[in-house]
Amino acid sequence: MSLTFCNVHFTQQPKRVVYVSGSLMKNLNLSGKKSVHLRLGQDRIPALVKPIYKPGNHLYLTAGIHKGIKIPKSGPVYLRNIQDGEVHIGPLIGVLSDGPTSSANNPFGSRTGFIKQLLKQGSKQSYIFAFTPRDVNWEQEKVNGYFLNEAGRFHRKKVPLPDVVYNRLPSRRAETTSSINQLRERFSRRKIPFFNWSFFNKSDIYRLLEKDTGVSRFVPESIMSPTPEEIKDLLDRHSLIYYKPNSGSLGNGIYRISHIAKSGYYARYRNKGKNALLRFNSFGSLIRTLQARHGRSLRNYVAQQGIRLIEIDGCPIDFRFHMHKNGRNNWVVVGIGAKKAGKGSVTTHLKNGGSLLTPEQALGRAFGARGDDVLRRAKSVAITLAEAIEYHHQHLIGEIGFDIGIDKDEKIWMFEANAKPGRSIFQHPNLRAEGKASVEHILEHCLYLSRFRRREG
Ligand SMILES: Nc1ncnc2c1ncn2[C@@H]1O[C@H](COP(=O)(O)OP(=O)(O)O)[C@@H](O)[C@H]1O
Ligand SMILES: [Mg+2]
């Protein structure tokens, strides 16, 4: 396979011809060839090849070509010569998302800003568009995509099915519907790489890591759908547990339960935007209260050994490790935010009064000179965890947001793996560059998955 970066130009001629500059002819092994197949996404058309004398890598596409295959725009892009006589232009990258409205300016709700950032950066070296599940016409195998124009506005263009899909569907519930399952299956049947497959579920991840002896020590002891007896046993052994919904997020529905001898059982949780703390004389009355509040949905809860996190100013801190796969298919820690819990809060979420620090600030205050060493170790654990999840998972994963805790003994613990991690840590003034790097990594990994990056071996 050969891979070249080139400049695409459009001409008005009606004939179906691609004009190729001399050095590009050579790079694509086209010397002496009379015709090629030109491929964009999943579409392919035959065309005549003609050499032109011009320095540099240039490709001129006629109006005749444009009739058969809608190359989204002129400008810089990659060309890949897969087999004899087929030239793949692209990659054509699709970002799958959705929004609450059908508004033309804001089709992806609160994700619109991030999607625009991806499209803006990605258009420098690929054809990248965003789309919703409703924009795919499976009979025609076309997508009515949202491209970004020079002015930074969306404009619609019909293109073939893409070379790779980056999934940012926002709703956990929608993702389990049969129509979204069918959508994913349709991409996968056509061998179009699709990442990430779906939201993770806490117990699936704990189960998967538990059986891996290389990483199980980083996951607090967890019991899925525990009986009251099992909860009591876990609490007796650890005196602190977290009781949390499998598919929860943002700390919703989480209880921090502790037992203090001679004093009673305590449950901390978030209620109507406020921190609540209840005390019970007996374990039985605690369980009855939880059952009254949640009923059957407790079946979808996990009880987990509580970790006593390091603290700053008396508030616990934990960390978001934003992980990406890069253009060589390796995991990288791209950004780390330290999250300090709000006073009295069960979790460290910013929306529950938490605040954001850099990892160096947080670990320096917690461990002094040892901070650097702890950070280095935590990064290496995060990479090992990402590799393990990927290894045991059936589908492509290219991005993970880990919630990671560190205790006073410098032990590292993983609380949650997010397949569609939020981007709020990148708002921190010291983490802006990491936010950009995150976007770059997504694009690089799209190039890798669509085979527009050289692969080793
Ligand atoms: N086992 C645990 N021990 C200590 N703190 C925990 C534990 N589990 C969760 N937490 C705290 O609660 C926060 C939210 O938990 P998490 O599992 O990430 O659920 P959510 O889906 O609501 O984000 C974590 O970031 C951490 O601060
Ligand atoms: Mg979390």
Determine the pLDDT at residue 255.
97
CA 268 to ligand 2 center in whole angstroms: 17
Over residues 383-429, the pLDDT tens digits come to: 999 999 999 999 999 999 999 999 999 999 999 999 999 999 999 99
Which of the 8 DSSP states describes residue 217?
G
Over residues 81-99, the pLDDT tens digits come to: 877 789 999 999 999 999 8
Q: Is any ligand 1 atom within 6 A of the Cβ of residue 418?
A: no
Pairing verdict, β 2-10 and 127-131? unpaired
Ligand lying nearest the CA atom of residue 202:
1
Q: Is any ligand 1 atom within 6 A of the Cβ of residue 22?
A: no
* Contact criterion met (CB below 8 Å) for 451 and 2: no
Pocket test for ligand 1, best of 222, 254, 311 (most atoms within 8 A of CB): 254
Tokens of 194: 């699709």
Q: Is 221 helix (H, G, I), strand (E, B) or coil?
A: coil
Which of the 8 DSSP states describes residue 85?
T
Q: What is the largest CA-CA distance in the chain?
A: 90
Q: Kindly tell me if the per-residue pLDDT of 1 is higher than 80.
A: no
Determine the pLDDT at residue 52.
95
Domains and CATH numbers, the chain: 2-89 (2.40.40.20), 92-195 (3.40.50.20), 221-305 (3.30.1490), 309-449 (3.30.470.20)
Over residues 233-289, the pLDDT tens digits come to: 999 999 999 999 999 888 889 999 999 999 999 999 998 889 999 999 999 999 999
Ligand lying nearest the CA atom of residue 305:
1
CA 129 centroid distance within chain: 17
Task: Supply the DSSP string of 225-262, one letter for each residue.
Answer: S--HHHHHHHHHHHSEEEEEETT--TTTT-EEEEEETT
CA 416 to ligand 1 center in whole angstroms: 7
Q: Is any ligand 1 atom within 6 A of the Cβ of residue 415?
A: yes
Q: Kindly tell me if the per-residue pLDDT of 350 is higher than 90.
A: no
Over residues 144-196, the pLDDT tens digits come to: 999 999 999 999 999 999 999 999 999 888 888 999 999 999 999 999 999 99
* Contact criterion met (CB below 8 Å) for 225 and 242: no
Which of the 8 DSSP states describes residue 201?
-
- In angstroms, the CA 312 to CA 318 distance is 11
CA dihedral 169, 170, 173, 178 (to 10 degrees): -20
Q: Kindly tell me if the per-residue pLDDT of 69 is higher than 90.
A: yes
CA 75 to ligand 1 center in whole angstroms: 46
The ligand 1 atom at the shortest distance from the C-alpha of residue 251 is: 22
CA 256 to ligand 1 center in whole angstroms: 9
The band of 102, judged by pLDDT with boundaries at 50, 70 and 90, is low
- In angstroms, the CA 221 to CA 307 distance is 10
- In angstroms, the CA 107 to CA 331 distance is 31
pTM over 0.85? The answer is yes
Calculate what percentage of the chain has a pLDDT beyond 90. 88
What Cα–Cα distance (Å) separates residue 68 from each residue in 12, 136, 446?
14, 19, 25
Determine the pLDDT at residue 457.
53
Q: Is any ligand 1 atom within 6 A of the Cβ of residue 205?
A: no
Over residues 14-64, the pLDDT tens digits come to: 999 999 999 999 999 998 899 999 999 999 999 999 999 999 999 999 999
* Contact criterion met (CB below 8 Å) for 388 and 209: yes
